[in-house]
Amino acid sequence: MNVRFPLLAAVIFVGLTSVNWTPEEVGIALNDPAVVNLHGTIMLPTPDAAIPQGKNALWCATFQIAWDNAGENFGRPIVLEPASKLADALNRNPFDRKWVDEASVATVEGTVAAGVLDKINAAVRDKTGGDSKLAGRIKEHAAQDDLVFFAMLHKKLEFVKPFGKLGTWEMGGRRVPWFGFTPEHKNTRPLHEQVRIHHYTAKNDFVIELQSKETGDQLLLAKLPAPPASPAALSQSVLQHLQTDAPNAGPADLLAVPNVSASEIAEFTELEGHQVKSNGKVLKQALQSIDFRMDEKGVKLDSEASVSFGCSAAAEPVRPRLIMLDPPFALIMKRHDAPQPYFVAWLANTDLLGGK
């Protein structure tokens, strides 16, 4: 089939009406049964939690930040009775606030009686312009003396120049929009300069960076030769390849990235109903939301988390590189000077591809 590429106002692709190139012709199986017949997305509370085989997995630092804030109030570590393996994992993995810029984070704590839900909505509105996704759910089960620890993260990374739209390709019975560039596109040097190749050995083993206007942050995309065991293992596999002098993409390279759209809310029920040993409070509710969007213009990440406590239970190749981000692939967001990321995603199936 001929794949048509619309013109961009920011970058003019001259002399191009159609390209005789299909994913199948370069060995990419967009409808691979091993990918498109898998479904499901899971949010993980800690970076060392296991990624279930075949599922998309999302981890964001917000839940850890909320847990750490509770620990500052109750005393660390937070020991629950009966014992909780998840609580132990959260106590082992504190998130250093230096690993994300303070301008992107908001934290709130207080009792329902003291107006903590209004403060949560105000904090979210200040960052995003909208209301909290979690405040209403907290309110449904809250008593006036419940103590709530809340954290949110808002990130928007805009590419200096939008990438080209590569049209929509069918994957798993849906039409998925893709963006990037091909060797047939002309006058795309500014787009090549937005792509740094940290590691490339083959079409299923590479690490790239899409650079944005926010120079303090990194958006990393990777194909891994084997599925990662956990977000921490994923991060280690990707970050070990980062170079300070990584080369840019070249005119012979092909970049194809699917749009990603995720909107998920998780309740970590395995923590609920346990009593805090140091003060007798009961952990009533543990929530996290993640909203993530990626398209040719950039990425946007919004995540909220809350923990409620109460008194009762509830290298330059010699050939063109094919940089094709078909599932499974990894996505990481981190600050340049931070040893650990603040967002990790493993896209193992097509459930989150596409979107608005």
Same domain for 208 and 239? Answer: yes
Cα separation, 213 vs 156, whole angstroms: 10
Q: How far is CA 221 from CA 252, 253, 266, 294, 297, in A?
A: 19, 16, 25, 12, 16
Strand partners, 19: 3
Residue 26 has pLDDT above 70, yes or no: no
One domain, residues 202 and 300 = no
What digits encode the pLDDT tens for the residues 29-49?
Answer: 555 555 545 568 999 999 999
pLDDT for residue 320 is more than 70 = yes
- Do both 226 and 81 map to the same domain? no
Helix and strand numbers, DSSP H then E, in the chain: 7, 18
pLDDT in the model for residue 30? 59
- The answer to whether residue 182 is domain-embedded is yes
pLDDT higher than threshold 50 for residue 2: no
Specify the pLDDT at position 48.
96
DSSP states along 161-181: SPPEEEEEEEETTEEEEEEEE
What's the chain's average pLDDT?
88
211 and 104 in a common domain: no
Query: What CATH number has the domain bearing residue 183?
Result: 2.30.39
% of the chain residues with pLDDT over 70? 87
Same domain, 114 and 132: yes
Residue 318 is predicted with a pLDDT of: 52
Residue 243 in any domain: the answer is: yes
Q: Is residue 11 assigned to a domain? A: no
Task: Report the domain count for the chain.
Answer: 2
Say yes or no: 237 and 328 in one domain. yes
Looking at residue 292, which CATH number applies to its domain? 3.30.497.10
> In terms of domains, do 64 and 141 share one?
yes
pLDDT at 214 exceeding the cut of 60 = yes
The verdict on 338 and 244 lying in the same domain is yes
Give dist(CA 85, CA 321) in Å, integer. Answer: 44
Boundaries of domain holding 284: 58-157+262-310
269 and 241 together in one domain: no
What pLDDT does 116 receive? Answer: 97
Residue 49 domain-assigned (yes or no):
no
Q: Report, in angstroms and rounded to the nearest whole number, the Rg of the chain calculated over CA atoms.
A: 22
Q: Give pLDDT tens digits for 189-207.
A: 999 999 999 999 999 999 9
DSSP per position, 204-250:
TEEEEEE--S-TTEEEEEEE-SS--SSHHHHHHHHHTT--TTPPBP-
5 in a structural domain = no
Q: Distance of CA 25 to CAs 30, 71, 172, Å?
A: 11, 55, 19
Tell me the per-residue pLDDT of 227-272, one tens digit each, with 9 for 90 and over: 999 999 999 999 999 999 999 999 999 999 999 999 999 999 999 9
Tell me: do 33 and 80 sit in the same domain.
Answer: no
Mean pLDDT check: name the lowest of 24-28, 78-82, 271-275, 283-287.
24-28
- Is residue 3 situated within a structural domain? no
- Are 185 and 123 in a shared domain? no
Q: Which pLDDT does position 337 carry in this prediction? A: 94
Distance of CA 77 to the CA centre of its chain: 27
Give the tens place of pLDDT for each residue, 88-136: 999 999 999 999 999 999 999 999 999 999 999 999 999 999 999 999 9
| Angstrom distance (rounded) from CA 233 to CA 224 | 11
Same structural domain, 73 and 219: no
pTM of the model: 0.86
354: in domain: no
Domain assignment present for 219 = yes
